[in-house]
């Protein structure tokens, strides 16, 4: 991921989670797989007794996306999620329609003819996995939406690195990471070219769970019984932080702090919605 490491983190932000340097970032949920991890990111709290599968069951807990939409007093179109995994339609909002969500092999409506073609093509270029489209479609739809609608909050969730790892295709994991780095570069350049977003936008990049160690086949797996599956990382690129590169000498950080951090960069205290949520990262 050369753009992330050589440009974004050098000039515009920081990353935490390099355990060899003493930088620790962990999940707090005990399940250590996708739905519980994404819910912890978005609600600021683990709910192990309730969120305990990857089934597409409506999340009963309101997300930070719903919170900031209410605080900003903006339309659902102004808070949008584009995700490769279809289950995100259930994960990101406790009330269907509270925000805008496009996930899985879901049709994407746009006046741009090329987007209509891509929307049709996504169902014809199937992946090896259920309810998942290729990340390239997710990114293209998200970028079209960004440029047309100019949302205040945009959440993009990719999938291929996780699924290729489960399949043991390490070469394809690396290719997916490199593509994602290219997506970050294109996103950054689009934001910086747009007066609404130029030097006013925070980007947070993180993951829903870790993976097992490289020895044997454990790197293919995660879950409550896999050592290392609780270990994640987070990068934050923001005009509001002076930190650059690897963040060292910080107390342990947790996945449940990300929701409050999203709210904080928009000027809000997320604990108004969820007093049990982790506190926002200290950006200065």
Contact 101, 81 (CB under 8 A): yes
**Residue-wise pLDDT tens digits, 74-90:** 999 999 999 999 999 99
Q: How far apart are CA 244 and CA 53, in angstroms?
A: 37
Quote the pLDDT of residue 217. Answer: 87
For a pLDDT cut of 90, what percent of the chain falls above it?
Answer: 97
* Model confidence at 284: pLDDT above 90: no
Query: 283 lies in a domain?
Result: no
Quote the pLDDT of residue 216. Answer: 80
266 Cβ neighbours under 8 A, 6+ residues apart: 68, 71, 72, 152, 153
| C-alpha atoms less than 13 angstroms from C-alpha of 243 in its C-beta half-sphere | 19
Contact 222, 210 (CB under 8 A): yes
CA dihedral (48, 54, 59, 60) in degrees, to 10, reads -40
Query: 277 lies in a domain?
Result: no
101 strand-pairing partners? 81
CB neighbours of residue 12 within 10 Å? 18
Start-to-end CA span in the chain (Å): 26
Query: 279 lies in a domain?
Result: no
Residue environment code for 170-186, b if the CB has 16+ CB neighbours within 10 A, otherwise e: eeebeebbebbbebbbe
H-run or E-run covering 48: none
Contact 44, 259 (CB under 8 A): yes
* Model confidence at 191: pLDDT above 90: yes
Quote the pLDDT of residue 283. Answer: 82
Q: In this structure, what are the phi and psi dihedrals at residue 163, rounded to the nearest 5 degrees?
A: -70, -40
H-run or E-run covering 68: helix 64-72
**Residue-wise pLDDT tens digits, 92-147:** 999 999 999 999 999 999 999 999 999 999 999 999 999 999 999 999 999 999 99
**Domains identified in the chain, total number:** 1
Mean pLDDT of 14-32: 97
Please tell me whether residue 230 adopts helix, strand or coil conformation: coil
- State CA 133 to chain mean position distance: 16
Please tell me whether residue 37 adopts helix, strand or coil conformation: helix
Q: What is the CATH number of the domain that holds 211?
A: 3.40.720.10
Averaged confidence pLDDT in the chain: 97
Query: 282 lies in a domain?
Result: no
Mean pLDDT of 147-163: 98
249 Cβ neighbours under 8 A, 6+ residues apart: 22
* Model confidence at 240: pLDDT above 90: no
229 is in which domain, residue-wise?
A: 2-272
195 Cβ neighbours under 8 A, 6+ residues apart: none
User: What's this model's pTM, rounded to 2 decimal places?
Assistant: 0.97
Quote the pLDDT of residue 208. Answer: 98
Query: 266 lies in a domain?
Result: yes
Q: Which of 59, 147, 72 is nearest to 111 (CA)?
A: 147
Quote the pLDDT of residue 267. Answer: 96
- State CA 129 to chain mean position distance: 20
Query: 106 lies in a domain?
Result: yes
Query: 284 lies in a domain?
Result: no
Query: 22 lies in a domain?
Result: yes
């Amino acid at each position: 991921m050369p753009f992330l490491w050589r440009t974004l983190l050098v000039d515009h932000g920081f990353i935490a989670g390099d355990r060899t340097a003493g930088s620790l970032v962990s999940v707090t949920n005990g399940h250590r797989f996708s739905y519980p991890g994404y819910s912890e990111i978005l609600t600021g709290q683990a709910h192990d007794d309730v969120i305990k599968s990857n089934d597409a069951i409506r999340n009963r807990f309101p997300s930070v996306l719903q919170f900031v939409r209410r605080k900003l007093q903006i339309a659902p179109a102004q808070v949008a999620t584009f995700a490769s995994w279809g289950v995100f339609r259930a994960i990101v909002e406790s009330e269907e329609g509270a925000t805008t969500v496009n996930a899985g092999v879901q049709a994407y409506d746009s006046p741009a003819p090329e987007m209509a073609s891509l929307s049709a093509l996504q169902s014809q270029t199937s992946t090896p996995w259920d309810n998942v489209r290729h990340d390239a479609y997710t990114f293209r739809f998200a970028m079209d939406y960004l440029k047309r609608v100019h949302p205040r909050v945009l959440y993009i969730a990719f999938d291929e690195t996780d699924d290729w790892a489960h399949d043991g295709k390490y070469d394809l994991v690396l290719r997916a990471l490199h593509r994602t780095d290219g997506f970050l570069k294109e996103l950054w350049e689009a934001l910086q070219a747009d007066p609404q977003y130029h030097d006013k936008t925070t980007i947070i990049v993180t993951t829903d769970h870790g993976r097992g160690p490289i020895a044997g086949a454990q790197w293919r797996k995660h879950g409550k019984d896999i050592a290392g599956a609780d270990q994640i990382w987070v990068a934050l690129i923001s005009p509001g932080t002076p930190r650059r590169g690897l963040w060292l000498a910080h107390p342990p950080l947790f996945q449940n702090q990300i929701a409050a951090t999203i709210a904080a960069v928009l000027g809000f205290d997320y604990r108004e919605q969820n007093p049990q949520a982790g506190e926002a990262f200290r950006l200065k």
